[in-house]
Amino acid sequence: SELSLKQTVTMGTSRMFRIFVVLGSAFMILLIIIYWDDVSVPHLYLHTPVSPGPKVAHPPPKPRPHTSRTPSFLSDIDAFVNQFLEPGTGEPTDTAPADTGNQSEKAEERYVPRREWKIHLSPVAAELRERQEQRRRLLQEVCANESVAFPGKNRSFDEIPNKELDHLIVDDRHGIIYCYVPKVACSNWKRIMIVLSESLLTDGVPQRDPLAVPRELVHNTSMHFTFSKFWKRYAKLARHLMKVKLKKYTKFLFVRDPFVRLISAYRNKFEMPNEDFYRRFGQLMLRRYGNQPTPPASVDKAFSLGIHPSFSHFIQYLLDPQTEKAMPFNEHWRQVYRLCHPCQIQYDFVGHLETAEEDAEHLLRLLRVDNVVEFPTSGRNLTSSSWEADWFSMVPAETRRELYKLYEPDFRLFGYDRPDSLLNE
C-alpha cells in the first residue's frame, strides 16, 4: 500500500507539472500576441498613403499552401514585415486601391485619397540622372579602394554602435531614410521630414508647410524617429529591422565642401554669440590657444570685451589630439563618413549643397512627394567657397595640410577637389 501511495503521489506531481507547463506556454503565447499587437503593428512600416498614385487594380493575393513545417523565427518576422513594406508599384509611395463598384461604404470611408501625384510632362533630365549615378559610383569606388583608409571604413553595419546611428531619420509613411549632416541645409530637410511623417499637428491637423514648423521643434529629438531609437521600441529585433528598412527604403543625404562646412560651423557657433557653444567649447579654446587663462564667464561678457575664439583657434582645437580623447567631435564639425557611414549604407541619392535647388527638386520628384512638399529656398547669408582663401589666410600652410588629412575621406568620398591653392602655399 505504501508503494501504491508513492506511485499515486508521483503521478499527481507529474500531472501537475504538465498542467503548469501547458498554462505557462499559453501565458507566453498570450504575451507575444499582446506584444505584437501593442508594439509592432502600429509602428512597423505602415505606409499610410499621402500622395497616392494612379488607381491600379491588383490581382487578389494567391492563397498560401498550408504546411505543417514551422518556419524559422526571423523568416516569420521577414514575412510579417514584408506584407507592409512591399509597395504595389515598386515606387517609394503606395498606390491607391482599385476603384470597384461593389466596395462597401465602410471600406470607402477607410481610404480617403488626399492628393493626386503631380503630373510631369517631361522625364527627369538625363544630366541629373547621370549626376546621381556618378556620385553613387564614386562612393562605391572609394569604399572599395584599399589605398583610401579611414577609421571604421571596413567594419560591418552590425559593428556600428547604436549611438552612432542617431543621424539616420526614418519616415515610415513614405519609405524614406535621411542622414542629416549639420551645416548642410539640415534644418530645412528636417522640416520636410516632419511634414512628411506628420509628426507635428496643428489643431489636430498635420502641418503641411515646412517653414511653419517652429525653429525650436526642428532640432527637437522627439520630433524625429532615428535608428538609435530602435532599441527602445523593438529590443532584440532592432538591428534586423534596421537592415530590412535599409534594403527597402530610399536613403539620401546632402553634403558640401568639407572646408566650407567648417567655416560655416565656426561662423554660426563662435562668430555670433552662442552661450551653449561658448561654455562647452569657446572657453576651452581661449584657455588653450588664446592666452586667456580665465576667459569671461558668459558669452555676452566675452563679446562685450571683444573676446571670442578665432578661426585659427578653432582649427587648432580640431587638430589637438587631446580634443577627441575628452569626447568625440561635435556633430557640427564631425566628418560626414562618421555621421552617415557611406561604406556600410548604400545611399540611393547624394545631394550637394552646391547644387541644392536642382538636387532637392530631383529628390522630391524621385520620392513622389513633390506634390506634398517643396524644399524651402534660403535667403540667409550662405558661406561661399570663394571665401576659403580669406578664412585660411591666418592658418599656417602646414596646419592646413594636417586639417586636409583629417577631412580627406570626405573630400574623396563625395567628389570634392583637393584644395591645392590652400595646401601648396
pLDDT in tens, 371-395: 889 998 765 556 766 789 999 999 9
Tell me the CA end-to-end span of the chain in Å, nearest whole number.
106
Judge contact between 371 and 116, C-beta under 8 A: yes
Low-confidence ranges of the chain (pLDDT < 70): 1-14, 26-118, 378-382, 384-385
Please, what is the angle between helix 126-144 and helix 397-413, to 10°?
110
User: What whole-number distance in Å separates Cα of residue 117 and Cα of residue 377?
Assistant: 22
Residue 250 DSSP symbol = E
For residue 269, tell me if it sits in a domain: no
pLDDT for the residue numbered 283:
98
For 80-146, give the DSSP string.
HHHHHH--SSSSSSPBPPP--TT--HHHHHH-----PPPP-SSPPPHHHHHHHHHHHHHHHHHHH-T
Q: Count the helix, strand and coil residues of the chain and give each as a percent rounded to the nearest 5.
A: 55, 5, 40
Using DSSP's 3-state secondary structure scheme, residue 356 falls into helix
The confidence score (pLDDT) of residue 16 equals 74
Alpha carbons 79 and 70: distance in angstroms, whole number: 13
pLDDT in tens, 130-158: 999 999 999 999 999 999 999 999 999 99
Angle at 227 between CA 343 and CA 164, to 5 degrees: 55
pLDDT of residue 19: 73
Using DSSP's 3-state secondary structure scheme, residue 52 falls into coil
CA 94 to chain centre: 21
Strand 201-202 relative to strand 205-206, pairing? antiparallel
Instruction: Indicate the number of domains in the chain.
Output: 1
Residue type present at position 417: D
Domain for residue 250, yes or no?
Answer: yes
Residues whose CB falls within 8 Å of the CB of residue 242, separated by 6 or more in sequence, listed in order: 157, 165, 227, 230
Residue type, 176: I
- CA distances 4 to 8, 10, 16, 181, Å, are 6, 10, 18, 78
Phi, psi of 47 (to 5 degrees): -80, 90
Q: How far apart are CA 183 and CA 167, in angstroms?
A: 13
Judge whether 101 lies within some domain: no
- Is residue 221 included in any domain, yes or no? yes
Distances from the Cα of 179 to the Cα of 122, 168, 294, 302, 339, angstroms: 29, 4, 39, 35, 8
Res 207: pLDDT: 87
Spatial distance between the Cα atoms of 328 and 323, rounded to a whole number of angstroms: 8
Residue 220 belongs to what domain range? Answer: 126-258+335-390
Beta bridge partners of 328: none
Task: Answer yes or no: is 379 within a domain.
Answer: yes
8 A C-beta contact, residue 45 and residue 81: yes
250-255/349-352 β-pairing:
parallel
Q: What pairs with residue 205 in β-bridges?
A: 202
185 sits in the region (left: phi over 0; alpha: psi -120 to 50; else beta) called left
328 lies in some domain? no
Q: Is 181 helix (H, G, I), strand (E, B) or coil?
A: coil
Give the global pTM. 0.75
**414 located within any domain:** no
Note whether residue 298 is domain-resident: no
